[in-house]
Amino acid sequence: MPREPTLATATRRTPSNVTLYGLPRSVYTRIVRLTLEEKAVPYQVEEVDIFGPDGVPAAHTRRHPFGRIPVLTHGELSIYETAAICRYVDEAFPGPSLQPPTPSGRARMAQVIGLLDSYAYRPMVWGVFVQRVRIPTTGGSTDESLVAKSLKGSRVALAALSALVGDFPFLAGTTLSLADLHAYPILRYFALTPEGQVAIAEHRAVAEWMARLGTRASAERTVTQYEQTAS
Ligand SMILES: N[C@@H](CCC(=O)N[C@@H](CS)C(=O)NCC(=O)O)C(=O)O
């Protein structure tokens, strides 16, 4: 039997026609949740465990040909690929725009999102965080050579983000944008590791940006099990 969607926040009692298929602990699911929260869009999360012993559920493969999470549906519309989902949410719903008003600002935003997807997510999340935090909690042992290799890549990505943020409060300039929401869940997991903490502390602008993002209600409402354990 299909599972009933679970309401994402206890305060939201009215079923919404926006459903996010994913997992609360997933980085990319959280990116979309942050966007929905910032736009104050009512939504529900339907959990899809693509990492279970049976692999990706068949129903989910029909939603996402590559079997990844998340997928967002809005009425009859179904979208996969996080950057596309977030841009849709920003443009389809009222509320403050999460895209800079100028072409250069939007280019910067797209540059940061591309950088994160291509060069930060794998080393920071899978190479360092999963190896250092998640695997030990499930009884496995950390692959130290993968951590060391991934740390090098993570540091390059961190330095690039640091150069881009410069003296601005947000990654694409003076206001919050989709770039910040894309970056936060990735860097937050990286920061839960001793190596990540040290690396981030070396980039004052990034450390301050993280603290700024972490106090937003959207970050607090989407906090993951790993942050709760760490605090
Ligand atoms: N390009 C995809 C990436 C999504 C992605 O990699 N999601 C992770 C969970 S955070 C996943 O589904 N991983 C499963 C896998 O790597 O097989 C997007 O932007 O949505």
Question: Domains plus CATH for the chain?
Answer: 6-92 (3.40.30.10), 103-230 (1.20.1050.10)
Q: DSSP assignment, residue 170?
A: B
Q: Is the CB of 219 under 6 A from ligand 1?
A: no
Q: What is the mean pLDDT of residues 111-140?
A: 97
Q: What is the pLDDT of residue 39?
A: 97
Is the model's pLDDT at 74 over the cut of 60?
yes
Report the predicted TM-score, pTM, of the whole model to 2 decimal places.
0.93
Query: 228: pLDDT confidence band, cut at 50, 70 and 90?
Result: confident
Q: Is the CB of 121 under 6 A from ligand 1?
A: no
Query: 31: pLDDT confidence band, cut at 50, 70 and 90?
Result: very high
Q: What is the pLDDT of residue 231?
A: 64
Per cent of the chain over pLDDT 90 is 90
Is the model's pLDDT at 132 over the cut of 50?
yes
**Ligand 1 atom at shortest distance from the alpha carbon of 85:** 20
Q: How far apart are CA 83 and CA 112, in angstroms?
A: 11
Is the model's pLDDT at 149 over the cut of 60?
yes
**Ligand 1 atom at shortest distance from the alpha carbon of 29:** 10
Parallel, antiparallel, or unpaired: how do β-strands 71-74 and 44-47 relate? unpaired
Which of residues 228 and 32 earns the better pLDDT score?
32
Strands lying side by side in the sheet with 6-7 = 6-7, 44-47, 18-22, 71-74, 77-80
Q: Omega into 169 within 30° of 0, i.e. cis?
A: no
Q: How far apart are CA 72 and CA 204, in angstroms?
A: 35
Is the model's pLDDT at 105 over the cut of 70?
yes
Q: What is the mean pLDDT of residues 128-134?
A: 97
CA 126 to ligand 1 center in whole angstroms: 11
Query: 163: pLDDT confidence band, cut at 50, 70 and 90?
Result: very high
